[in-house]
Structure 1
Amino acid sequence: MDTAVNRPELLLVADAVAREKQIERDDVLEAMEQAIQKAGRAKYGHEKDIRATIDRKTGDVRLSRWTEIVETVENEETQIPVAISKKFAPEKEVGDFIVDPLPPIDFGRIAAQTAKQVIVQRVREYERSKQYNEFKDRVGEIINGVVKRTEYGNLMVDLGRAEALLRRDETIPRENLRNGDRVRAFIYDVREEQRGPQIFLSRTHPGFLAKLFAQEVPEIYDGIIEIKAVSRDPGSRAKMAVVSRDQSIDPVGACVGMRGSRVQAVVAELQGEKIDIIPWSPNVATFVVNALAPAEVSKVVMDEEAGRVEVVVPDSQLSLAIGRRGQNVRLASQLTRWDIDILTEAEESERRQEEFRRKTGLFVEALDVDDVIAGLLVAEGFETIEDLSMTPLDEIASIEGFDENVAAELQRRAEASLAKQAGELEEKRVALGVSDEVAAIEALSAKDLIALGEKGVKTLDDLADLAGDELVEIVGAEALTEEAANEIIMAARAHWFEGDGNAA
């Protein structure tokens, strides 16, 4: 028996909705099928597996009940045992479905209203999904829109087929955008949320400046010039590092353009933001010097472990290097991703002399030698008594003014000083009550043991109760990494588990 109802007008409605909402015709028809299914379940039972299909060519609507053939019935409304199914569907096996046609539904006012709500909801979901799929791959692009309205200082921007959010802190300071204004912005995030896809725009993102230059400079768009890094103080100043893959093309000149035409176009879009374009270099020291332009740099000292760079500038260049409110050095630090400390030549000289005096005093006191010998040792690069005791004798003897006898005597005194220091530290450790079990942990130095004792950490249990970051804080980050601290703590906890194996 054919229970199909011919409804060609459904196809016309689906076509109209698909065109208006710019979604697929099949998606609209699926929404209609779900609406008819919901009405069918309301009539025949919500527990039953009622399904509806709309013929894509004729508009015929068919409603049917689906029953799964199973070995053991768990739901009588949707399942049937295989033994019974064999009586009237012997060809079907476990896992197949028995499909029973149902008479068409005469939609009443309530059912029609429910069906309409389902269709509207499903169409909205398809529309949102289409928007998300369209924009999720456009993160990192510049897009044009029109300011539609303002909500708590944030701007809602109409992108044509979607709305985007331009938050107040993502707009350039002192920029006054009103309803109806056209705006260009950078898509920095697209999220699929409960209320639909959320598109987030920015005019302060470093990527916005980079994309603006890609639009203005063909060499960047073509990949001949690469933008390696950007740092911005939005609306005030920015720095951009560029490098050319073609040695015949000057990357800075190409970005500036004839009489500054290219860079001025970007500056105008960014409300007068000054832009320093600098050549990128794989050499960190050179890159840091370039990044601090227009200030001149006399000397660069790098500490790779700490990720810091110490830059020495002439006294007259200090204010230029630091910049107004620290702007120049801050942008240079963001650009290079190194912490930059600025010193004048006078400050650096004074500090170097103070460091020399401190190290000299250390050798004078520990080795009982005069300032001349101590100064020679410091000048040769010796920084601690340990350095001197571990250096080969002939290397010490090769220092101008020294011989083998002097070298041997200096090493003897260094070893005696270290032994005396170790004895004093051991006495202090015992006096503080730090146990021998804690002292037996090789990774902890004598100074570390004193620091622990002063904080009341005296037994293995005290040490085992600490967290890794607490141990680092006690002994100092320069003496211990958090990974090493965790290993020490696990070693201290080992005695807690000694009995477990025996118990097993």
Structure 2
Amino acid sequence: MGKELKFLVEQIMREKGITKDAVIELLETALISAIRKKYGNKSSIKIKIEPQTFDINIFEIKKVVEEVKDSASEISIEEVKQKYIDKGIGDTVEVPLSIQDFGRIAVQTAKHVLFQKIREIERSQIFEEFKDKVGNIVSGTVLRKEKGNFYILVGKAEAILPDKEVLPQDNLKRGDIVKAYIFEVKQTPKEPIIKLSRTHPNFVVGLFTLEVPEIQDGIVEIKTIARDPGERTKIAASSKDPSVDPVGACVGMKGTRVQAVVRELKGERIDIIPYSDDMSFFIAKALTPATVLKVGINENEKTAVVVVENDQLSLAIGKKGQNVRLASRLTGWSIDVLSESEYNQMKHKETERAFKETNQKQVND
């Protein structure tokens, strides 16, 4: 049995990444559980596994007494004298049990307990590995789709990519390699749950971090982001080094860096603008690709009126209002966009009203 046990332990060590001492300890626990099922719930069982030969020695710990009243936990002094010369009343002795007495059911029980304990260790290891990885980008292999979730193999863990966290353009199939953002890791009584997303705004931030060394080095920072997953994203980047252009760093030579991100996002459009504390400038840039003529702001209410040329109005607002909506989310300000004609007309009306009010005041006076 020693050779079989050695093979089993080495296999577990190799496949599960568990140390030899840990496997032996688990095996001893499993064997004790099996023995107690066979011999009753004896707390006096002791097992020793020789770490080199993997020979198993099983003992019952019994107390030496004058007269035995409980054979499960006691042994008479007369019997002890025949085997243990140096033991007396009140001492304890280790009485060997034969491994052959186990039987097939006991061995199966031991294996069941062993693999149950190993699964518990694996689950604990997975949680420990991923609990601090929330916010990271990982790559994994699509295993299957089940009940509205994609199951992704990430290392040795099965992570969940919910259908609602998948891009509209994604067409995931079994065996596909996919990148995703870890947005939740939690422990449950059954197993740890790792949730992934490809629609989270920080997925885009993570992709740029992978592509842009200046972000990795802390020189360039993505300050804010607004995203309609699968359609359009706006990011505002700043630089701690005046000689480094944050927008240029994110775009890359001939657009290589931003295009790598766009490919991963299946063609999602990305606007990259410089972050600024000058809100008039920042709001104007946030409406990229439209060209802004002027910006009026109300700092108390965080509202802004933006004027664009007539032919730029639809571009500034965007399809179904997407461009101005994302610009508002990016800046945190409510933005109202007017064409130059609308603005002039409004200004003319205000001038007329002011003129009438002045004339009426003069008449009254």
Which TM bucket (shorter chain)? 0.7 to 0.9
Per the alignment, residue 293 of structure 1 pairs with 288
User: How many angstroms does 1:100 deviate by?
Assistant: 5.6
Structure 2: distance between partners of 1:281 and 1:64 = 77
What is the CA deviation profile of residues 315-342 of structure 1, one whole-angstrom value per residue up to 9, with x for unaligned ones? 6244333221121122122222344444
Output aligned runs, 1:368-383, within 5 Å.
371=361
Per the alignment, residue 280 of structure 1 pairs with 275
Structure 2: distance between partners of 1:297 and 1:283 = 16
Per the alignment, residue 246 of structure 2 pairs with 251
What is the CA deviation profile of residues 195-238 of structure 1, one whole-angstrom value per residue up to 9, with x for unaligned ones? 32222222222222122222222222222211112221122111
CA contact 2:38–2:106 (8 Å) conserved in 1: no
What is the CA deviation profile of residues 426-470 of structure 1, one whole-angstrom value per residue up to 9, with x for unaligned ones? xxxxxxxxxxxxxxxxxxxxxxxxxxxxxxxxxxxxxxxxxxxxx
Are residues 1:154 and 2:149 paired? yes
Per the alignment, residue 312 of structure 1 pairs with 306
Instruction: Give SS of 1:183's match.
Output: strand
User: How many angstroms does 1:272 deviate by?
Assistant: 1.0
Structure 2: distance between partners of 1:63 and 1:332 = 75
User: How many angstroms does 1:17 deviate by?
Assistant: 0.9
Per the alignment, residue 103 of structure 1 pairs with 96
Structure 2: distance between partners of 1:23 and 1:231 = 44
| Distance of aligned partners of 1:349 and 1:25 in 2 relative to their CA distance in 1, 3 Å threshold | farther
Identity of aligned residues (%): 47
| Distance of aligned partners of 1:250 and 1:14 in 2 relative to their CA distance in 1, 3 Å threshold | same
Structure 2: distance between partners of 1:66 and 1:35 = 21
Per the alignment, residue 264 of structure 1 pairs with 259
User: How many angstroms does 1:102 deviate by?
Assistant: 4.6
List alignment gaps of at least 5 residues for structure 2: 64-71, 74-88
Per the alignment, residue 28 of structure 2 pairs with 33
What is the CA deviation profile of residues 258-316 of structure 1, one whole-angstrom value per residue up to 9, with x for unaligned ones? 22222112112211111100111234443333222233152232344x5x323332462
User: How many angstroms does 1:351 deviate by?
Assistant: 9.6
Decide which of 118, 124, 140 is 1:123's aligned counterpart. Answer: 118
State TM-score, norm by structure 2. Answer: 0.77
User: How many angstroms does 1:247 deviate by?
Assistant: 0.4
Instruction: Give SS of 1:137's match.
Output: coil
CA contact 1:27–1:126 (8 Å) conserved in 2: no
Per the alignment, residue 42 of structure 1 pairs with 37
Which one has a larger percent helix, Structure 1 or Structure 2? 1
CA contact 2:182–2:195 (8 Å) conserved in 1: yes
Structure 2: distance between partners of 1:143 and 1:272 = 20
Structure 2: distance between partners of 1:66 and 1:139 = 52
Structure 2: distance between partners of 1:133 and 1:119 = 21
Instruction: Give SS of 2:192's match.
Output: strand
Deviates more, 1:169-178 or 1:277-286: 277-286
Structure 2: distance between partners of 1:302 and 1:32 = 71
Output aligned runs, 1:41-60, within 5 Å.
41-46=36-41, 48=43, 50=45, 52-57=47-52, 59=54, 60=56
Per the alignment, residue 82 of structure 2 pairs with none
CA contact 1:51–1:66 (8 Å) conserved in 2: no
Equivalent AA in structure 1 for residue 21 of structure 2:
D
CA contact 1:35–1:115 (8 Å) conserved in 2: yes
List alignment gaps of at least 5 residues for structure 1: 1-5, 68-76, 79-86, 90-98, 362-369, 375-504
CA contact 2:307–2:343 (8 Å) conserved in 1: no
| Distance of aligned partners of 1:40 and 1:257 in 2 relative to their CA distance in 1, 3 Å threshold | same
What is the CA deviation profile of residues 38-58 of structure 1, one whole-angstrom value per residue up to 9, with x for unaligned ones? 123334543746554534455
CA contact 2:61–2:94 (8 Å) conserved in 1: yes
Larger radius of gyration: 1
Deviates more, 1:45-54 or 1:233-242: 45-54
| Consecutive aligned runs of 4 or more in structure 1 exceeding 6 Å deviation | 351-354
Structure 2: distance between partners of 1:64 and 1:297 = 91
Decide which of 328, 331, 339 is 1:333's aligned counterpart. Answer: 328
User: How many angstroms does 1:250 deviate by?
Assistant: 0.9
User: How many angstroms does 1:32 deviate by?
Assistant: 1.1
Are residues 1:195 and 2:197 paired? no
Structure 1: distance between partners of 2:42 and 2:280 = 72
Name which structure has the greater RCO, CA cutoff 8 Å, separation 6+: 2
Structure 2: distance between partners of 1:55 and 1:226 = 57
Per the alignment, residue 212 of structure 2 pairs with 217
Equivalent AA in structure 1 for residue 297 of structure 2:
V
Structure 1: distance between partners of 2:321 and 2:19 = 55
| Distance of aligned partners of 1:53 and 1:298 in 2 relative to their CA distance in 1, 3 Å threshold | farther
Instruction: Give SS of 2:288's match.
Output: coil
User: How many angstroms does 1:186 deviate by?
Assistant: 2.0
| Distance of aligned partners of 1:259 and 1:46 in 2 relative to their CA distance in 1, 3 Å threshold | same
Structure 1: distance between partners of 2:335 and 2:52 = 71
CA contact 1:27–1:123 (8 Å) conserved in 2: no
Equivalent AA in structure 2 for residue 298 of structure 1:
K
| Distance of aligned partners of 1:33 and 1:333 in 2 relative to their CA distance in 1, 3 Å threshold | farther
Per the alignment, residue 470 of structure 1 pairs with none
CA contact 1:7–1:61 (8 Å) conserved in 2: no
Question: RMSD of aligned C-alpha atoms?
Answer: 3.7
User: How many angstroms does 1:23 deviate by?
Assistant: 2.5
Per the alignment, residue 378 of structure 1 pairs with none
Structure 1: distance between partners of 2:28 and 2:330 = 56
Equivalent AA in structure 2 for residue 20 of structure 1:
E
Which one has a larger percent strand, Structure 1 or Structure 2? 2
CA contact 2:138–2:179 (8 Å) conserved in 1: yes
Decide which of 151, 163, 167 is 1:168's aligned counterpart. Answer: 163
Residue-pair matches, total:
334
| Distance of aligned partners of 1:332 and 1:53 in 2 relative to their CA distance in 1, 3 Å threshold | farther
What is the CA deviation profile of residues 396-421 of structure 1, one whole-angstrom value per residue up to 9, with x for unaligned ones? xxxxxxxxxxxxxxxxxxxxxxxxxx
Instruction: Give SS of 2:289's match.
Output: coil
| Distance of aligned partners of 1:102 and 1:214 in 2 relative to their CA distance in 1, 3 Å threshold | same
Equivalent AA in structure 1 for residue 294 of structure 2:
S
| Distance of aligned partners of 1:58 and 1:179 in 2 relative to their CA distance in 1, 3 Å threshold | closer
